[in-house]
Structure 1
């Protein structure tokens, strides 16, 4: 392992319940939680003060995605009730209520979502997956969403994860059965299907290979897929141009319970994130461990073990003592984003212990 990461800020008791997702914009780190709230933490200083918050849904929130312009920030989120919400942050945080009828349909149950900013044309996109296995596509002009299309895939397995690539205009969707599909965004034509050949329940055809996260690399050449393999977590890397498996990311293990192929995490891997140039991939799992991998050599560059011991008791006053400091979501932080933290890669991590942790790579300036 050739890299070390040091803590730059820790906010304990950041939410009143499990923090399930995190995204980073230029101005804010945005978190959502099972307590039903969105919180915006300022990136203006290394201690990340809370800028603003809003209560959204009593059923709790589990996914968040951001769309940023020079004038405002759009925040999309989904609740456990299956409802989509949109907020706008400029001078203050306000709800955007003028949504397409398709996003207000009470019969629809939404899950994962992702905004995409077009690199050349003003053809910005929101993709949002559904429990039915479909994914809906919306055009975004300013803060106005317009329904475009719905995927016609025959795979009706719960669509658990989605990502968009602005370089080649592609979309990746992961499903509960372990399958991943790459679509051409213009025509929503399936280009590749990456099937899971993982574990199945002995008494049924149900899969134990749920896709937890799909992420395109910057430039859209690679796709990282975090899947369950029974109780363990795997990460596959795919070549997007040719639709081929490049390989897996494997942590060395001496356990007799681990197969020859090995796994990336000793429990489910919930989140993966590429750094700005795509040379590194960070992964976080329910084994209290964050790993940073080289995408070229597919070897581990660093490991971080997150623990309740790094947060004082008062900051954990509302945390269930049975909760671990497991990682539900993470994101690389753009280099040089925060004054005083240098130009090295940074990471932000959230999880079941209701703590937000920020790190940066040690060394350099």
Structure 2
């Protein structure tokens, strides 16, 4: 048998509207919604605890939020945690941890036409990067600058809180005619950008010039999510791309060295509107995510399913079907939403992150957000 996951916590009514983005740090699961709120859910709680009693809520923008990205690092003994959220107004807001809570910090001003944010923490410790796509077709890249001054008083020294800034060093253009950049992913060597047209460009992180361009396969269109496969060598070998295929969703795997298609992740479909043999989901795939070592990929789709794929065999390992009946507070779901728990976002949870103050969960987990206002946490069967 393949991987099996069980629900550990599922607070219905986690937000007042559809959950559109999720990101994780060691201490928190962050979620954003079209209700305009950013929420930080405590990870260090037992399975029997109520997540609704262990959450911080921050109202950000009345037009609603659709993306969230996080950065976490330890610099000179201080844990730096940054959260970037993007609103339907086009603004990108930032929050920084201060004494266990989060406070807004102004890094880009109040104007913008932004869409998808992405933090990259360089495993070699050279330069961390923040990327942000724009509705005009551009993708902006910034160096993340963190300064922690040291103040010396005689023989003793005191460390004051660090300051954070963004230094824009380049822009990737969409080409002519420009297409809307829907998502991006960054490694030490590469920046991949996906577009509404179905195009994906893989660019050099040094020159920001395209190395490869991947057009959409037959019947495929909008790129909704793309991720580099992690590896122990810190150099990604595969780029996974989720695209629309009429009413379904496909996942294509590209080799990052030679720019070739090396596989697809497929499950037989019963859709009569498709002529292709198989797709990954019978609905659009809103997000894909690798686990820590890149051995598995999770995908979440409009068909209310989370699927887990084995990257070695390229086969489906598990399928989780979401339903409003999963949730603790079903009264938060309106009648016309009772048959739809479309998965809008999904993330792997590393070992030891959930399951009590000491991180007692010894197995990997998953967290998924959905259009029924709910967030669901899962762990692999057999974990503590």
Shared fold per TM-score greater than 0.5: yes
In structure 2, C-alpha distance between the alignment counterparts of 1:3 and 1:325, rounded to whole Å: 22
The aligned counterpart of 1:317 is 331
Match of residue 17 from structure 2? 17
Tell me what 1:69 maps to.
73
2-structure distance, mates of 1:61, 1:105: 15
Distance (Å, rounded) in 2 between the aligned partners of 1:253 and 1:197: 17
The Cα shift of 1:151 comes to 1.2
Q: CA deviation at 1:211?
A: 0.5
Counterpart mapping for 1:165-184 below 5 A: 165-166=187-188, 169-184=189-204
Which ranges of structure 1 fall in alignment gaps of 5 or more residues? 200-207
Extract structure 1 runs of 4+ deviating beyond 6 A. Answer: none
Matched, 1:193 2:213: yes
- Distance of 2:217 and 2:251 partners within structure 1: 14
Correspondence for 2:304: 288
Task: Provide the TM-score with structure 2 as the length reference.
Answer: 0.87
Matched residues in 2 for 1:355 and 1:279: separation? 28
Give the drift of 1:343: 2.2
- With normalisation by structure 1, the TM-score equals 0.91
144-153 vs 187-196, which deviates more?
144-153
Report if the CA contact (8 A) 1:291-1:304 is conserved: yes
**Counterpart in the other structure of 2:144:** 140
CA 1:42–1:316: 2 relative to 1, 3 Å: same
**Pairwise mapping of residues 245-284 of structure 1 onto structure 2 (< 5 A)?**
245-284=261-300
**How does 1:329-344 map onto structure 2 within 5 Å?**
329-339=345-355, 341-344=360-363
Whether contact under 8 Å (2:265, 2:314) holds in the other structure is yes
TM-superposed CA distance for 1:121, in Å, is 3.3
Once the two structures are superposed, what CA deviation does each residue of 1:237-276 show, in whole Å capped at 9, x if it has no partner? 1111111111111112345444343111101010101011
Corresponding residue of 2:152: none
- Match in the other structure for 2:158: none
Taking the TM superposition and a 5 Å limit, the aligned residue runs for 1:1-365 are 2-46=2-46, 47=49, 48=51, 49-70=53-74, 71-91=79-99, 92-97=101-106, 99=107, 103-104=108-109, 106=111, 108-142=112-146, 143-155=164-176, 156-166=178-188, 169-199=189-219, 209-219=221-231, 220-312=236-328, 315-323=329-337, 324-339=340-355, 341-363=360-382
Larger radius of gyration: 2
For the residue of structure 2 that corresponds to 1:322, the secondary structure is helix
Contact 1:20 1:61 in 2 (8 A): yes
Unaligned runs of 5+ in 2: 147-163
Q: State the partner residue of 1:202.
A: none
SS in 1 for 2:325: helix
Q: 1:317 to 1:193 in 2, by over 3 A?
A: same
Calculate the aligned-residue CA RMSD, in Å: 1.7
